[in-house]
Structure 1
Amino acid sequence: MPIKYSYNTHESWWLSPSSLFDGYVWQHDIAFKISHDTITTIAPKCTIPTDDPIMTTDLIACPGYVDLQVNGGGGVMFNNEPSPAGLQTIGRAHLKYGTTSFLPTFITDTSDKLDLAADAVIKTIGQHGVIGMHIEGPHINMLRKGTHNGEFIRPFDERTLATLERLRTNKVPTMITLAPECLPDFTIIALLVAMGVVVSAGHTDANGEQIRTALHQGLSCFTHLHNAMTPMTSREPGVVGMALASHAWCGIVCDGYHVCDTSLAVSIHAKEKSQRMFIVSDAMSTVGGPSSFILYGEEIFVKDGRLINRQGSLAGAHITMAQSVHHLISQLGLAPGQAIAMATSTPADLLSVANTRIGKISIGGKANIVLLKKDWSIVQTICNGQYIDTEKNPNSTPNISNT
């Protein structure tokens, strides 16, 4: 049953779920203490002092979801409103669906707008769930541009390099998606990696040998695997084959439309040993917002669960991390812990150089928690130690009893 709530507040309190997945392993008969926005203690239930405030629930606890590819939410597209106010709206929209940490994603556009987006992230980092920035394009292959506007696609330039340097100077975790074969020199990848930028291949028409070279230079990730990239064939691994065979990380959209469930299952299995496959929503402004929006002057809308343009082509996704986790468990039969890790600890580990407090339930970690029913659907979210009531008041706090 959902936890009852009230407006009582406590500086420190215990949460005792029916079971706990901490991001890596299952724990049972465990409770953890939340002080302000931090988990300060994890201990057996039987050791909790009887006079301490405790919230007991038959729900399952896991870390708040971490989404490394969020284009929009709550009726706002980051490209259309690259501002702190826009990021606040996007963060609030995804919070009620369990996403407590995310990378706002700015897709191919002008250099001026990219700078505005970078400024917004620098001002907002650490607030509203913003943990960094994902720049997707504009240095991608025209042949694999997808919904990106070809007018703004361009070679890698000093302007983008300056923006990346500014983000890293301000200690903003940063990912850039690019087409390696379109770079003037593959050593640019090594330069960016030396700056602390995560370089991901996406919207790319590269062959296997080009990806091999990019991996040697420090490429460490692949963006929305299978989509907007060369497929694996019998004699050419393409981007997909190299991604699955490598030790690199792979983001993947789990809505059943971007990648069919059979290909999804095969891909997850291929990366199972390295545990470097993670879920991204690739969500647009329709999550928590109206069912259509304008991008590059063109209407994008939801039809039969798919987000498409007037030509019927996929244009981002209309799915949450919570729905993605549920899909993997209920439709693919994935082990619950594996599915949850793909939405929590795995994407957090990719950004571990700059972020060590998200994606897991551990002592010293952020008190970002999702509470699930036994059918793995999300019920409630706790963000920075504060209970988020998705049905009523987003600022309400949990009812805590001394039991």
Structure 2
Amino acid sequence: MKKVYSKPVILRNVYIYAEDRDFEDGYIILNNGIIQEIGEMVSLKEEDILDFEDILVPPKCKLLPGMIDIHIHGVAGADTMDASFEAIHTMATSLPKEGTTSFLTTTITQSPAAIENALKNISSYIENQDDRKAEVLGVHLEGPFISAKRAGAQPIEYIQNPNLHTFQNWQRLSNNNIKLVTLAPEINGAIEFTQYLVNHGVIVSLGHSDANYEEVNKAIQAGASHVTHLFNAMSGIHHREPGLTGSALLQDALFIEIIADGKHVHPEMIRLAYMNKTKDKIILITDSIRAKGLKPGLFDLGGQTVAVDETKATLQDGTLAGSILSMEKAVQNFQKYTDCSIRDIIQMTSTNPAKQLNIYNRKGSIAKGKDADVIVMNQNLEVLMTFCRGHLAYAKGY
């Protein structure tokens, strides 16, 4: 199904949410991996269509920029920590089905050797990846520099304090592909480590943390700009101590991740976050594990057994262990919970992550010259088609 076209691709008679305006009855031309042209159908001559590979779009559909998942461990039986080319290939092949066109492969707190193997594998994959699949943008290092008190599903035995030498070695092994690091700002050495990461172009995300308001402020002053899965595995709000949760809602310097599966965060708390942070500071993520897309059963996550049913994944003690959420479902849920606009959805699934990763010059919106990562959705926000760098990577029903 993943066809390579000999001519530029044209999609037409579709509502296009372009970067600076909407095209109510628009067309878009994808050529050599980029967006070549966008316009209204009224300006397109019928004979011009002969020059393109004309892909039929169902009526009353919307064209949105591809979604960017910056926090995902696995899907379809594969996990980042498998440390195999095949595992990352499976993830990149599966994700376009849910509208994801690029992502950060996310590690878990594990032994240094396991993390190193995963990083080397990701580096190798990135050098040889297929532009007809979802693009691996780099690595989200979730742990091991976190709080044992707020470990969540992260294996406690491998948690450690920030170590500059260790990180430098890991970054070398990844070929400088570690783009985002989740850490607890209150642990020993975290503030100095945050300054180092920020000075070297790495996003610092506060998470798996028991930090108080003052400790969060120190991290922000050091350059932290992100919060990992807000509300989960962090100090909560108290009327005498805002904690990391309250600080995240208050501080405009911080982007927040949200897992909108209705299990990790109550819908009303998602609405509260939306009212406080607005579309400009929210990034929707899946935090999904290898069980996503598979039947319920028992699965491995960082050497731990995870029980998965139709709606959630948990450790033996009931702790939530990642999710089985798709980006498509996250979008549907978030709009249901908040009544947000399509433009808001675009901001939270594409624009914000692209800006955080400093790749908005090529991703994050539909604009001439940007990567041809686009998705076709119907009125119910179901993904019908996904194009990765101009290649049809997924079409529903095929």
C-alpha contact (below 8 Å) 1:73/1:91 kept by paired residues: no
Query: Relative to 1, partners in 2 of residues 1:278 and 1:185: Cα closer, same or farther, differing over 3 Å?
Result: closer
Of 277, 284, 295, the match for 2:282: 277
**SS of residue in 1 equivalent to 2:319:** coil
**SS of residue in 1 equivalent to 2:218:** helix
Q: Does 1:367 align with 2:372?
A: yes
Structure 1 CA distance, aligned partners of 2:99 and 2:139? 19
Query: Relative to 1, partners in 2 of residues 1:110 and 1:332: Cα closer, same or farther, differing over 3 Å?
Result: same
Alignment-derived partner of residue 401 in structure 1? none
Paired residue type of 1:339:
I
Alignment-derived partner of residue 32 in structure 1? 28
Paired residue type of 1:214:
A
Residues 143-163 of structure 1: CA deviation (Å, up to 9, x unaligned): 000011111001111443213
Structure 1 CA distance, aligned partners of 2:190 and 2:391? 48
Structure 2 CA distance, aligned partners of 1:25 and 1:314? 40
The CA deviation at 1:17 is 4.3
Query: Relative to 1, partners in 2 of residues 1:256 and 1:6: Cα closer, same or farther, differing over 3 Å?
Result: closer
Structure 2: any 5+ residue segments left out of the alignment?
none
**SS of residue in 2 equivalent to 1:230:** coil
Alignment-derived partner of residue 203 in structure 1? 208
Of stretches 359-368 and 123-132 in structure 1, the one that deviates more from structure 2 is: 123-132
The CA deviation at 1:342 is 0.9
1:291-330 equivalent positions in 2, closer than 5 A: 291=296, 292-330=298-336
Query: Relative to 1, partners in 2 of residues 1:185 and 1:133: Cα closer, same or farther, differing over 3 Å?
Result: closer
The CA deviation at 1:123 is 1.6
C-alpha contact (below 8 Å) 1:250/1:278 kept by paired residues: yes
The CA deviation at 1:191 is 0.9
Q: Does 1:192 align with 2:188?
A: no
Query: Relative to 1, partners in 2 of residues 1:171 and 1:297: Cα closer, same or farther, differing over 3 Å?
Result: closer
Structure 1: any 5+ residue segments left out of the alignment?
394-403
Alignment-derived partner of residue 388 in structure 1? 393
Of stretches 241-250 and 289-298 in structure 1, the one that deviates more from structure 2 is: 289-298
**SS of residue in 2 equivalent to 1:344:** helix
The CA deviation at 1:313 is 1.8
C-alpha contact (below 8 Å) 2:31/2:390 kept by paired residues: yes
More helix by share: 2
C-alpha contact (below 8 Å) 1:30/1:43 kept by paired residues: yes
Structure 2 CA distance, aligned partners of 1:364 and 1:153? 43
Q: Percent identity?
A: 27
Structure 1 CA distance, aligned partners of 2:254 and 2:303? 36
The CA deviation at 1:7 is 6.3
Alignment-derived partner of residue 71 in structure 2? 69
Of 323, 342, 347, the match for 1:341: 347
Matched residues, number: 385
C-alpha contact (below 8 Å) 1:298/1:309 kept by paired residues: yes
Structure 2 CA distance, aligned partners of 1:195 and 1:351? 13
C-alpha contact (below 8 Å) 2:183/2:190 kept by paired residues: no
**SS of residue in 2 equivalent to 1:379:** strand
**SS of residue in 2 equivalent to 1:156:** coil
Of 172, 184, 188, the match for 1:166: 172
Residues 218-254 of structure 1: CA deviation (Å, up to 9, x unaligned): 0010000010111122121110111111121111100
Of 284, 288, 293, the match for 2:293: 288
The CA deviation at 1:356 is 2.8
C-alpha contact (below 8 Å) 1:74/1:92 kept by paired residues: no
The CA deviation at 1:172 is 2.5
The CA deviation at 1:268 is 1.2
Paired residue type of 1:199:
V
Query: Relative to 1, partners in 2 of residues 1:368 and 1:116: Cα closer, same or farther, differing over 3 Å?
Result: same
C-alpha contact (below 8 Å) 1:178/1:199 kept by paired residues: yes
Structure 2 CA distance, aligned partners of 1:17 and 1:317? 36
C-alpha contact (below 8 Å) 1:93/1:287 kept by paired residues: no
Structure 1 CA distance, aligned partners of 2:2 and 2:201? 44
Paired residue type of 2:147:
N
1:254-265 equivalent positions in 2, closer than 5 A: 254-265=260-271
The CA deviation at 1:18 is 2.6
Structure 1 CA distance, aligned partners of 2:303 and 2:171? 31
Structure 2 CA distance, aligned partners of 1:271 and 1:286? 31
Structure 2 CA distance, aligned partners of 1:302 and 1:332? 27
The CA deviation at 1:295 is 2.5
Q: Does 1:148 align with 2:154?
A: yes
**SS of residue in 2 equivalent to 1:107:** coil
Structure 2 CA distance, aligned partners of 1:17 and 1:283? 34
Query: Relative to 1, partners in 2 of residues 1:17 and 1:218: Cα closer, same or farther, differing over 3 Å?
Result: farther
Q: Does 1:95 align with 2:96?
A: yes
Residues 54-94 of structure 1: CA deviation (Å, up to 9, x unaligned): 44532111011100001011101212x11222111112121
Alignment-derived partner of residue 188 in structure 2? 183
The CA deviation at 1:24 is 6.7
Alignment-derived partner of residue 114 in structure 1? 115
Alignment-derived partner of residue 17 in structure 2? 21
Of stretches 378-387 and 122-131 in structure 1, the one that deviates more from structure 2 is: 122-131
Structure 2 CA distance, aligned partners of 1:133 and 1:260? 28
Query: Relative to 1, partners in 2 of residues 1:33 and 1:390: Cα closer, same or farther, differing over 3 Å?
Result: closer
Alignment-derived partner of residue 246 in structure 2? 241
C-alpha contact (below 8 Å) 2:164/2:193 kept by paired residues: no
Structure 1 CA distance, aligned partners of 2:141 and 2:19? 26
Residues 81-117 of structure 1: CA deviation (Å, up to 9, x unaligned): 1122211111212121111100000010111121111
The CA deviation at 1:29 is 2.9
The CA deviation at 1:289 is 3.2
C-alpha contact (below 8 Å) 1:74/1:287 kept by paired residues: yes
Structure 2 CA distance, aligned partners of 1:222 and 1:290? 31
Paired residue type of 1:184:
G
Q: Does 1:157 align with 2:183?
A: no
Structure 2 CA distance, aligned partners of 1:320 and 1:17? 27
Structure 2 CA distance, aligned partners of 1:327 and 1:201? 25
